[in-house]
């Protein structure tokens, strides 16, 4: 929808140049999925922390991408629920990094300061990286479901 409506497409050079966002990612250092069992707690902490961090970005998308506000609100709610659920699976849930209110407000203010065209690019980058993050999250959760009693 973003590509059609705002001509913001994944292969745009401008998008690649602008990507200065520090969006959460699950990397091989967090536990590659072939040896996931030995890294599962570390990986679950990273996933839960990342989902909590994405909340601020999703709030920005919801406020900015008005035509999809309800969909993004639902996505944000589901993401927060998943973050809490995964956090409960971590051996020490206190180790999950949850951004404090000041950090969230600072990031939100920074995001809101973007200009019109940059705003559209920012939304696209957030949604693209969120999709990638969720793909890896789904793989991890499926792996866990298949290797231990998990509900």
User: In three state form, how does the secondary structure of 71-132 look?
Assistant: HHHHHHHHHHHHHHHHHHHCCCHHHCCCCCHHHHHHHHHHHHCCCHHHHHHHHHHHHHHHHH
Asked whether residue 13 is domain-assigned, the answer is no
Which candidate, 50, 40, 32, places its Cα nearest to that of 96? 50
Domain count, the chain: 1
Asked whether residue 114 is domain-assigned, the answer is yes
Asked whether residue 67 is domain-assigned, the answer is yes
Asked whether residue 102 is domain-assigned, the answer is yes
CATH of the domain at 75: 1.20.1250.10
Asked whether residue 68 is domain-assigned, the answer is yes
pTM for the whole structure: 0.75
Q: Which two tokens stand for residue 4?
A: 């059609």
Q: Looking at residues 33-56, what average pLDDT do you find?
A: 78
What tens digit of pLDDT does each residue of 100-138 get?
Answer: 999 999 989 888 887 776 788 888 888 989 999 999 888
142: DSSP letter: H
Asked whether residue 12 is domain-assigned, the answer is no
What is the domain range of residue 81? 34-149
């Amino acid at each position: 929808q973003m590509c059609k409506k705002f001509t913001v497409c994944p292969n745009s050079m401008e998008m690649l140049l602008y990507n200065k966002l520090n969006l959460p990612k699950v990397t091989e250092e967090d536990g590659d999925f072939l040896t996931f069992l030995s890294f599962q707690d570390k990986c679950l902490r990273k996933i839960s922390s990342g989902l909590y961090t994405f909340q601020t970005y999703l709030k920005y998308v919801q406020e900015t991408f008005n035509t999809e506000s309800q969909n993004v609100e639902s996505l944000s709610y589901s993401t927060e629920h998943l973050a809490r659920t995964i956090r409960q699976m971590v051996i020490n849930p206190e180790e999950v990094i949850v951004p404090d209110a000041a950090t969230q407000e600072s990031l939100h203010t920074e995001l809101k300061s973007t200009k019109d065209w940059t705003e559209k690019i920012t939304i696209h980058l957030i949604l693209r990286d969120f999709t990638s993050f969720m793909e890896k999250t789904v793989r991890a959760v499926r792996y866990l479901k298949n290797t231990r009693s998990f509900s």
